[in-house]
């Protein structure tokens, strides 16, 4: 394997200059820097990670603590998109990612903090986990830089999808389409999803109040995120009500598939007989017919900002601002919410 001394001979520069170029120092010219890097690649030079860690006091590795309630792992459309974006940004900045074992049956019996210190993580991103878990709290309160996604700890950076505005935009659209009998099958209000659910639920009720819409208690039911079976069952129960809703909002697009199946099995049409709406804007939902009305979360931006802020906290801890950053979503009108009443007349339907 080539050494920096070998590279310096080929390039006709000192070993110190080679070191500066490979470590992106600003006190050498860009042309010289790129030339040295090119020669290093051609010679197969690889820096010794242990030596680099000793010199910089960083391992250039980031831990990912992730365990969703539905146990869908990286098939979870929303978080898979977020973590993919996070990974691309982190790798672009020279960091490797490793998942922290979140199984409650961990053979090594190390806590999250112990695992993070054992692996020498420069920082940790935490998403979709029980944030009240004592082990999570221990990690957050340690001296390891941490960024959370969709959960806020005082004194720590958090990247939040704007669930309040997202649900408001979705509800406003449904209300303006003339609907007054709107049901909401929301996600679980405990565990890792509690803050997301609470914000969406409060925004749902607030927007209904603004449009003078009364929501019966039987129109609001707790389901589970990404659970089609529960959505299927609750949808059937709602359709059996003496006064059933004319529009149902589901916890997410994936869970909505179960409700859509229940509706179609009854011979009802969407949106002619009943309207539906989802949340997240996942790729699979874009191929439904009719296209589902939903709120698309910006997973690309959430992951990018989370990685940017964590790396800034690792490399520039004194100048990085500790803040909560909210990322807006986008209403996708789709075709699954019909215009009814005066909205139908005004639209010329």
Residues of the chain with pLDDT under 50: 54
In this prediction, residue 220 carries a pLDDT of 98
Torsion angle of C-alpha atoms 275, 224, 192, 167, degrees rounded to 10: 10
Q: What is the pLDDT of residues 92-127, one digit of tens each?
A: 999 999 999 776 555 557 899 999 998 999 999 999
The tokens for 290 are 């009719």
In this prediction, residue 20 carries a pLDDT of 86
Residues of the chain with CATH 3.40.50.2300: 61-161+299-329, 163-297+332-346
In this prediction, residue 288 carries a pLDDT of 84
In this prediction, residue 69 carries a pLDDT of 58
In this prediction, residue 249 carries a pLDDT of 98
In this prediction, residue 146 carries a pLDDT of 98
Burial (CB count within 10 angstroms: exposed 0-12, middle 13-18, buried 19+), residue 5: exposed
Asked if 62 and 116 touch (Cβ cutoff 8 Å), the reply is no
Give pTM, 2 decimals: 0.81
Q: Does the 61-161+299-329 domain belong in CATH 2.60.40.1120?
A: no
In this prediction, residue 129 carries a pLDDT of 87
In this prediction, residue 53 carries a pLDDT of 53
In this prediction, residue 304 carries a pLDDT of 98
CB atoms < 10 A from the CB of 132, how many?
12
Note the CATH number of domain 163-297+332-346. Answer: 3.40.50.2300
Whole-number Å distance between alpha carbons of 192 and 196: 8
Q: What is the DSSP string of 183-201?
A: EEEEPPSSGGGHHHHHHHH
In this prediction, residue 187 carries a pLDDT of 92
């Amino acid at each position: 394997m080539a050494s920096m001394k070998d590279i310096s001979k080929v390039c006709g520069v000192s070993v110190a200059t080679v070191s500066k170029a490979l470590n992106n120092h600003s006190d050498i010219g860009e042309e010289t820097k790129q030339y040295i890097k090119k020669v290093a690649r051609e010679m197969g030079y690889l820096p010794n990670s242990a030596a680099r860690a000793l010199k910089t006091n960083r391992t250039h590795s980031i831990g990912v603590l992730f365990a969703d309630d539905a146990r869908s792992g990286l098939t979870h459309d929303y978080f898979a998109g977020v973590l993919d974006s996070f990974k691309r940004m982190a790798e672009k900045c020279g960091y490797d990612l490793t998942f922290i074992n979140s199984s409650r049956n961990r053979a090594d019996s190390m806590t999250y903090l112990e695992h993070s210190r054992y692996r020498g993580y420069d920082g940790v991103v935490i998403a979709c986990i029980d944030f009240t878990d004592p082990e999570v709290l221990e990690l957050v309160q340690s001296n390891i830089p941490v960024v959370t996604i969709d959960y806020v700890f005082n004194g720590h950076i958090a990247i939040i999808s704007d669930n309040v505005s997202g649900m408001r935009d979705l509800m406003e659209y449904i209300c303006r389409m003339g609907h007054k009998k709107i049901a909401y099958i929301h996600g679980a209000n405990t565990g890792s999803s509690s803050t997301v659910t609470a914000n969406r639920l409060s925004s749902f009720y607030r927007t209904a109040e603004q449009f003078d819409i009364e929501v019966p208690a039987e129109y609001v039911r707790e389901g589970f995120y990404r659970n089609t079976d529960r959505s299927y069952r609750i949808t059937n129960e709602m359709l059996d009500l003496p006064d059933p809703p004319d529009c149902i909002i589901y916890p997410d697009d994936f869970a909505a598939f179960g409700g859509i199946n229940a509706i179609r099995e009854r011979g009802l049409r969407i949106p002619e007989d009943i309207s539906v709406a989802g949340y997240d804007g996942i790729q699979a939902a874009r191929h439904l017919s009719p296209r589902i009305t939903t709120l698309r979360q910006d997973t690309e931006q959430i992951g990018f900002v989370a990685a940017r802020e964590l790396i800034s906290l690792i490399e520039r801890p004194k100048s990085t601002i500790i803040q909560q950053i909210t990322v807006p979503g986008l209403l996708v009108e789709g075709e699954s919410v019909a215009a009814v009443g005066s909205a139908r007349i005004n639209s010329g339907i």
